[in-house]
Structure 1
Amino acid sequence: MVTLLTGKKGSGKTKKLIELVNVALEKSNGNVVVIEKGKQMTYNIPYAARLVDSDAYDIKGAQNLQGFICGICAGNYDVTDIFVDSTLKITGTGAGEIEALVEELKKLSQSADTNIVLSVSAAEEDIPAGIMDCVLK
């Protein structure tokens, strides 16, 4: 399942993402991975989650992000949850261009049996209609 956390900058998306990470860690029988841009959540994410800085791996663009997430799933069969903070900063695109990424991640999520949560800095009305079913209400 792919879930989108949406809202404008400063609306509390990262705080909600951290709460979801904590819930996932309590429920997971496998690994929880958090991908962020920069090292801003180091002290907010419990040590049990794998925290990955996208800048350290030079991830730029939606295809690179998708490939990186695929590699995480391929390299470790027991990843149950993947969280991506600042998705649009990593991809370098606007909310209107992430529909293809979300559709590909839906396929991966299903085949790898992994929940994927993307934090997207955009108002709900800026999210493409084709992926509105993924927006967390």
Structure 2
Amino acid sequence: MIQVFCARRGSGKTKRLIELANHQQISAKGDAVYIDDDSRPMLQLARGIRFVDTNEYNVDDCQSFYGMLCGIISSNYDIENIYIDGLSNIVRCTMKDSTELFRKIAGLTDRFGINVYININVDNAEEVPSCIKEYVA
């Protein structure tokens, strides 16, 4: 399952994603991973949640981000939830590339039974690509 949260920068998406991750960690049967391009949220997460800073791995496009996701999943088959904060800050890609990325992430969620929660910064609801609208919460 993919769930996308779209709102403008500064609207509290990160705070809500951290709260969701911490709340779900209490009853989760599997492991959780929180991915961000900023290490500040790391101290706000529950101890059991693995934090990954994409800046440490030179992730900057859709292809390298998808490769990183595959690496994370292949190293731990017990992952239940993945939280991605600020996808538009992590990767710079075209509409075609983002469509392909979401198709690939959907394939991973179906194949491995993982839930993926993604925050995306948008100023206007019309900016949300159609490939992403089906996942917006």
TM-score of the aligned structures, taking structure 2 as reference length: 0.91
Gaps of 5+ in 2: none
TM superposition shift of 1:94: 6.5
Identity %: 27
Query: Cα deviations across residues 5-56 of structure 1 (Å, max 9, x unaligned)?
Result: 1111011110111121023202211110001102110221111100111111
Query: Cα deviations across residues 77-117 of structure 1 (Å, max 9, x unaligned)?
Result: 10000011111111023778522211110000110110011
The number of equivalent residue pairs is 136
CA contact (8 A) 1:33 1:79 kept: yes
AA paired with 2:135? Answer: C
Per mean C-alpha deviation after superposition, the further-off stretch among 58-67 and 22-31 is: 22-31
1-structure distance, mates of 2:62, 2:21: 22
Per mean C-alpha deviation after superposition, the further-off stretch among 106-115 and 94-103 is: 94-103
Residue equivalent to 2:129: 128
1:42 aligns with 2:42: yes
Gaps of 5+ in 1: none
2-structure distance, mates of 1:20, 1:129: 25
CA contact (8 A) 1:61 1:93 kept: yes
Listed as ranges, the matches of 1:73-112 within 5 Å are 73-93=73-93, 98-112=98-112
Provide the alpha-carbon RMSD of the alignment.
1.6
Residue equivalent to 1:58: 58
Residue equivalent to 2:113: 113
CA contact (8 A) 2:36 2:53 kept: yes
Query: Helix, strand or coil: the match of 2:93?
Result: coil
Structure 1 runs of 4+ aligned residues shifted over 3 Å read 93-97
CA contact (8 A) 1:96 1:128 kept: no
2-structure distance, mates of 1:9, 1:96: 23
Question: Structure 1 95/43 Cα, relative in aligned 2: closer, same or farther at 3 Å?
Answer: farther
CA contact (8 A) 1:95 1:126 kept: no
1-structure distance, mates of 2:14, 2:80: 20
Question: Structure 1 96/44 Cα, relative in aligned 2: closer, same or farther at 3 Å?
Answer: farther
